Amino acid sequence: MTFAQLDHICDFDTLPRMPAWVTSAGSDAPEDVAFLSGAALSHLHLVLGRAEVPQALLRDRLALRAAEACVGFSGRPERAGDLRDAIHLLRPGDLSGPAGEIYLSWRRLVGRPMSIKALGRALPAFEQGQIATWLDAGQGAPVGRAAMVLEAVLREAPRADVVGLILADAALAQALGWEQLVPLLAIGLKRADLRKHGEELRLACHRALISSAVEAARQAADLVRRAAHLKAVAPKLRAKGACDAVAMFLTRDAVAPSTLPLPDRAARRLCDRLVDLGAVRELTGRDTFRLYGV
């Protein structure tokens, strides 16, 4: 890849802002909550259609948020930094652990077009036929459809919170015509919401999508600015393989120097250079086993 080709990954522009009335409205009336969630999703749909948004990077970062929420639902102590370590510092033959497996499931799904086959690969404990049956349980408008899928999964497999949330987000994406899953419901729902049913669960999903769509849109705007700065400084990098390394930063939440297409010492120098230029951040706060991200 050349630096000229990088220009097509994220052309800087100003994204439309989420209307203030979406975030400031305080009504709890079901019809108002449903209206606001629809408005938030409609705005996010426009944002996701903008060429300047680094789509893969956004989905990967939202996958981390979704995994962190799911791990929290299970009562485990791991947080975002622990999940990054569990995956990005994994050595061949090592096991990622239960929390790492949750994160891997989300990452696998957001990294490729959505299909029953892709869902089956990410959720190997369940047959593809069962996954398809659960997805078919959702009918009607997008949010109601997602809520029905979540309820269907948890009715048959009460402890399968992660599976239910993944398939609910998959059902939502399908209903909205998105080719790839964007983690939203897992980020916005609360643990207590997963025990609700019928209209209560549907209303909880509407509330969750207001907050998570707003968060996703803000994250997209932030990543557009950060990616634009990374692209601006990229021509200053002289190391062979630097362009491909920059492309990796534009698609991944976190990058370990050892995964960059450079010798180890050159990779570490490149990461330090990018930090000095304000183009990437060191994410761990450690002196060793560092991870970097936009």
pLDDT at position 91 is 85
Answer yes or no: are the C-beta atoms of 120 and 126 closer than 8 Å. yes
Asked if 101 contacts 90 with a C-beta cutoff of 8 angstroms, the reply is no
DSSP state for residue 236 in the 8-state scheme? G
Which pLDDT does position 92 carry in this prediction?
81
- The pTM of this model reads 0.93
**Hey, what are 65's tokens?**
């948020």
d(CA 24, CA 284): 34
- Domain 3-7+230-293 - what CATH class? mainly alpha
pLDDT in tens, 100-157: 999 999 999 999 999 999 999 999 999 999 999 999 999 999 999 999 999 999 999 9
| Residue % of the chain over a pLDDT of 70 | 96
d(CA 101, CA 185): 19
- Max alpha carbon distance in the chain (Å)? 59
- CA nearest neighbour of 220 among 70, 45, 83, 66: 45
Any idea what DSSP says for residue 279?
S
Give the domain ranges of the chain. 3-7+230-293, 25-224
184-202 pLDDT per residue, tens: 999 999 999 999 999 999 9
Helix (H) or strand (E) holding 293: strand 292-293
Lowest mean pLDDT among 23-32, 54-63, 237-246: 23-32
Q: What's the confidence (pLDDT) of residue 13?
A: 53
Q: How many whole angstroms separate alpha carbon 275 and alpha carbon 294?
A: 10
Q: Which of 260, 267, 263, 255 is nearest to 292 (CA)?
A: 255
Q: Residue 1 has what pLDDT?
A: 62
